[in-house]
Amino acid sequence: MPKKILRINMTDKKATYEDVPEKWSRWAGRALTSAITFDEVEPTCHPLGPNNKLVIAPGWVTGTPAAPSSGRTSFGGKSPLTGGIKEANAGGLSGQKIAKLGLAAIILEGHPKDGKWYTLVLNRNGVEFKDAAPLMGKGMYEIDEILGKTYPNTAIIGIGQAGEMKLSNAGISVNDSENHPGRYAGRGGMGAVMGVRGVKAIVVDDTGGPGVEIADKETFEAGRKKLTEAILSHDLTKKGGGLPSYGTAILVNIINEAGGLPTRNFSTGQFEGAAKISGEAIAEVIEQRCQGADSEGTMGHACHPGCIIKCSNVYPDESGKHLVSCVEYETAWALGANCGIDDLDYVAQMTRECNDVGLDTIEAGNTIAVAMEGGLLEFGDGAGALNLFDEVRKGTPLGRIIGQGVEATAKAFGVYRVPTVKGQSMPAYEPRAIKGIGVTYATTPMGADHTAGYTIAPEIAGVGGKVDPLTDEGKADLSLTFQAATAFIDSTGYCLFIAFPILDIATGWAGMAETVAGVTGMAVTGDDVVPMGKEILKMERLFNEQAGFTSERDRIPEFMREEALPPHNVTWTITNEELDQVYSWVHNGS
């Protein structure tokens, strides 16, 4: 049975199933959320107005049997944070269950005329509109517990108090296999876009669903085996490798040593407390606190069913019980080094607060760091930083400022050092010390976003070749290639971390493409990955141009051009002309 589009109109409370039109039939995941946004959302509309939409789409291979680490869900629309097109994706249970219901995408549109809030319950029979009044004002831990009891073995997509308040840093939570929140489509404020639709939660029950059809099972199986073998043989992703053993926070010490770990609001590239918040330190805490049979902390945790990389963790409290999942590299950095905080327990507690109230940890950490620079708190004040989340939860004036993200907070506190591009704050890699990722920050349609073109692979990890992070040469082309490949991977439903093995192992790259070909029946090979990725990027770029973006939005902040970053004492030196060349092909046809 061909996949369908499920269109849910919150104005008249109607849910309709539509055939996938020809113009969207090639796409899935990020490609599909961007295509629908490009075609159906007026680029100049207000992101919180009636003409924006939230599009939810699983990837090409999501929901198929045994495709490794393929449980990502894309959430797209116009971003309240950037004012441009946005896709944020998450792990958890939602992608596979949506796909198994035979859905290519869910389009959430309209505003409730009655001003009420709803929980949408999706199953093979359609959509039920349930009154969400009992859930209002609650955080995601309580929401997942309540809905998990009423609807067991389901995916729960929801927003915390930040989404209810339509704050620009509101994310969308997806529950994991233990029914905990924390798998977030965090970046860009998509939780606010869900909130203005009057939707507090979406429950997805795939029981009896038709599943995912595979057009060419032989090709799919051949590709699946190649990709699986690549993942399980690469040093970073294999069992006992870097990511399963220490999680993404293995990067804390590595990036710190490279002088590219932004510290105290991007004032230096090294943090003296880095080792205390590293992946190695997280693993040590888990080992110390989890000796008993009933302990819940662990490294090597899967963020969705079928993940074979298992880079996640469950960070325990002092008794060994679940505190939060998970403390990732970006989280440890944003709520740790960038705020001058080297206490893992404070970092973990703040991560739990983000997961509960519904905030992106990267934007939240950067926002606190900016507020610290503005004099609200001292750098290193973990207790004071933790208390700020109560302000957000309560919706106080200060909490609402913090919940609007870095740029709003910088204006409120008179801060000049504002590490954003297109309104979105930078992740955990200093662009003055790692130039390729800086090009990605500057030029991606998504706003400053490391996952949009992860040049850290060759610049730091030596994956896919070794590139000097401090040099300007070749970084524009490097970033564009990574941005295009990433757009494709984000459309597959695979975790982005498959990039590590497939960049080094050619059969893995080919296998990824073969699985897509096998599911869809399209003639896709490894040679098509970058060209197809550029098609996706072109849609996104043109949307932003129609929204009023010019090349002046593709710039690194002024302070990074003026201030030398210790310890290398380097500034941002890639020229505006070089940045403008990254997307010149969109209009010159090359």
Q: In this structure, what CATH number is given to the domain that contains residue 275?
A: 1.10.569.10
By DSSP bridging, strand 4-9 and strand 103-109 are parallel
Whole-angstrom Cα distance, residue 212 to residue 519? 8
Return d(Cα 546, Cα 44) in angstroms, integer.
7
Domain match, 281 and 360 both: yes
Place of tokens 């309580």: 142
- Using one digit for the tens of pLDDT, what is the confidence trace for 309-332? 999 999 999 999 999 999 999 999
Q: For position 496, which CATH number holds?
A: 1.10.599.10
Predicted confidence at residue 590, as pLDDT, reads 58
Is position 137 within any domain?
A: yes
Residue 35 and residue 182 in one domain: yes
Q: Please tell me the pTM assigned to this model.
A: 0.98
Across 385-408, b (16+ Cβ under 10 Å) vs e yields: bbebbebbbebeebbbbbbbbbbb
167 located within any domain: yes
Q: What is the pLDDT of residue 589?
A: 67
User: In the structure encoding, which two tokens stand for residue 536, read together?
Assistant: 């996706």
Return the pLDDT at 292: 85
Q: Report H helices in 260-360.
A: 279-289, 329-334, 344-357
Q: Let me know whether 191 and 305 are in one domain.
A: no
CA distance 329 to 340: 15
Q: What is the pLDDT of residue 293?
A: 83
341 vs 9, 194, 383, 538, CA distance in Å? 45, 32, 10, 40
Residue 224 within a domain:
no
- 456: nearest Cα among 469, 472, 439, 475: 469
Query: Is 216 domain-assigned?
Result: no
Clarify whether residues 425 and 435 are in a common domain: no
Centroid of chain to Cα 74:
9
In a domain, 213, yes or no: no
Say yes or no: 482 and 464 in one domain: yes
**Chain centroid, CA 501 distance in Å:** 20
C-alpha 514/C-alpha 526 separation (Å) is 8
Task: Clarify whether residues 409 and 467 are in a common domain.
Answer: no
Distance CA 68, CA 96 (A): 12
Domain boundary among 375, 410, 429: 429
Same structural domain for residues 425 and 470?
no
Residue 259 domain-assigned (yes or no): yes
Q: Which residues contact 302 (CB under 8 A, 6 or more apart)?
A: 177, 310, 312
Any domain includes 349: yes
Residues contacting residue 357 through CB under 8 Å, at least 6 positions apart = 139, 140, 160, 161, 162, 389, 392, 393
CA–CA separation, 27 vs 101, rounded Å? 17
In sequence order, the 6+-apart residues with CB closer than 8 A to the CB of 150 are: none
Q: Which residues, in sequence order, are bridge partners of residue 204?
A: 122, 155
Whether 343 is covered by a domain: the verdict is yes
Contacts of 153 (CB under 8 A, 6+ apart): 205, 207
The answer on 469 and 421 residing in a single domain is no
Residues in the chain where the model's pLDDT stays below 70? 589-590
| pLDDT score of 490 | 98
Show the domain range for 590.
431-504+525-590
Last residue of a domain, one of 204, 237, 269: 204
262 and 196 in one domain?
A: no
> What CATH number is attached to the domain comprising 83?
3.60.9.10
| Number of domains the chain contains | 3
Choosing from 378, 404, 429, the residue where a domain stops is 429
Q: Do both 417 and 307 map to the same domain?
A: yes
Do 51 and 175 lie in one domain? The reply is yes
Task: Indicate if 443 and 425 belong to the same structural domain.
Answer: no
3-state secondary structure of 2: coil
